[in-house]
Structure 1
């Protein structure tokens, strides 16, 4: 069976190893959501990953409510992303852009617009805003007549990502954001073609994936799901009935790869007693399957050796270990990260973690 350090082909991408970099919001763009030069240094440092999945990147102002997060809807943003993709490619790496609509997790103080979602149900907790933490707002339910506009927005973002030099895109359909909100019955109380039965709740995921794959090619289109547990207030009462059909649809569409963020009983960020669905999804999704969430190097190696996954996406370990692949290969110690610098807008805790000697 393959090891973490064997190459793998995911769609049109030849990844030189199976240590993928998971998407990590780091808040180093401008207030207008334009990537900054320091981001090229950051991603270039981590180009040893088999594939970098970029931080979540907004497809529209409506859908991007995280302060200082980057977008991909304007020409200015496209031009600012080019040094980032160039830096990764110059070091032999590959990078895809994660396409993000935050749905009800948006706050109007960031976007200037009321958030939209499948239903008028506020998320629990508080949003990050430029003025500090604020309670999440009640979103406006998307009208069916607005779905074509939303699909157009995903299409434009996918085209822009390719123009910016990305090797492909990943559709963010996880973690309690817009598409995930449509999937889960706790957030979706609609009684139309996009709500109710599981086959209706997966409709938006299918339509977005079809549109993106039809725009840039299925071989350059990936999807991220979080099929079990509570993701920022979004949970499903019977996740197998939703996520197994979703995986079957994505298999038929022949996407480049499917990434699953799965919670466990003792996860670092979130816990659940809902079982992991990856063994069931593995049976119906025949493309490359990437798993994520709290993997140790030993657990990651076992997942590949057992056939449970084709690659592992590491998140937090890449923050403080820009040369993570080298460290894993040499069984070198991993450096700890500093949570206080995750979203600071400063170079500290971003580009100053040294490589191992």
Structure 2
């Protein structure tokens, strides 16, 4: 846990205080959440991503890339980036370099969609009939994550975030609504979490635990992936991730049903926060006020912002100045245009000029 801030200093903006995350010195606690954008044509990161990510980079700021697919069989959506081929690695390099040129810390989120896939690579709204992985196939998928982590470091990323949330393959193993296996990867909580922790162990051994984060949504029901006892799941994973000594745990708030739906939840991430020894990151519908509050209360170390950071490339500066925010336009979020809804959201200075 980080050092708790004093509530006596009215000038402090908790989100904008520095934080030491392992070997990484962060100048503020506003994190760019991983955001799928569907603009990596043919699964290759494109030059327009250089501008997109560098717009949101700041000296000492922490960015997490959109999910990068770990293998050809891990794909689920059209025009999402991969990290399994040499061509993809080379395409990521100038993007990473641009973030580093502005002093940012950049992690690559590693993704395998599992059953959330379809054979025709459409928008992803209809899915092919899945089949369970054979027990002898599981080590190959674990190895795909390991190789993808190696590729991410080769591309220049500072580390990786393992995507264990939102109903994709790792979440599918962990949640008992989905996992009906009868082998050593199904049944008990320990068995259902076995695959996730094998991935964590393999990736940590490959690139070092201090370069590894894990994203988890134990309370959510993304892609019809729910669990009958999310409190037990969250605590078990927090304790297990701590044993592996990874850098951070990135948890989705219980109030988030989907990426856009929010409700009042009786559950809390606080027990998970207390059980995890490394840096704790929360995400899920936060604004400036909410983010400042949870950091001040020491309920988290960092706060990840998705839609707000997408629509406001200079979000930390706007938080600092208590400036008005650009509105997020969902209609242009997932289109393939290399500019519209991607790199054309105005900075604060541009917004001011337009009003004049």
TM-score computed with the length of structure 1 as normaliser? 0.91
* Structure 1 CA distance for aligned equivalents of residues 124 and 248 of structure 2: 35
Contact 2:56–2:313 (CA under 8 A) maintained in structure 1: yes
CA contact (8 A) 1:44 1:87 kept: yes
Whether 2:249 is the aligned partner of 1:280: answer no
In the alignment, structure 1 residue 60 sits paired with structure 2 residue 71: yes
Per the TM alignment, residue 157 of structure 1 is displaced from its structure 2 partner at its CA by: 0.1
User: Hey, what's the Cα distance between the residues in 1 that align with 2:198 and 2:26?
Assistant: 28
For the pair 1:37 / 2:29, whether they are aligned, the reply is no
- Cα contact 1:229–1:273 (8 A) shared by 2: no
Q: Identify if the C-alpha distance between structure 1 residues 133 and 313 changes in structure 2 by more than 3 Å, giving closer, same or farther.
A: closer
Aligned to 2:22: 11
Q: CA deviation at 1:352?
A: 1.0
**What is the SS of the residue equivalent to 1:9?**
strand
Count of aligned positions? 336
Give the match's secondary structure for 2:66.
strand
| C-alpha contact (below 8 Å) 2:216/2:251 kept by paired residues | yes
Residues 4 and 334 (structure 1), Cα distance of their counterparts in 2 relative to 1, 3 Å cut: same
Residues of 1 paired with 2:54 and 2:182: CA distance? Answer: 47
Aligned-partner Cα distance in 1 for 2:279–2:241? 11
Match of 2:242 among 238, 246, 251: 251
**Structure 1: segments with no counterpart, 5+ residues:** 111-128
Query: SS where residue 162 of structure 2 aligns?
Result: strand
SS of aligned partner of 1:188: coil
Q: Could you say what secondary structure the match of 1:96 adopts?
A: strand
Distance 1:19 1:176 in 2: 25
The answer to whether the 8 Å contact 2:32/2:63 transfers is: yes
- The answer to whether the Cα contact below 8 Å between 1:13 and 1:167 also exists between their aligned partners in 2 is no
Identify the range of structure 1 (216-225 vs 229-238) with the bigger mean alpha-carbon deviation.
Answer: 229-238
Hey, what does 1:81 align to over in structure 2? Answer: 92
Aligned partner of 1:352 in structure 2 is 344
1:30-66 per-residue CA deviation (whole Å, 9 max, x = no partner) reads 12x0000000100000002721010011001111111
* Aligned partner of 1:316 among 299, 303, 307: 307
SS of residue in 2 equivalent to 1:313: strand
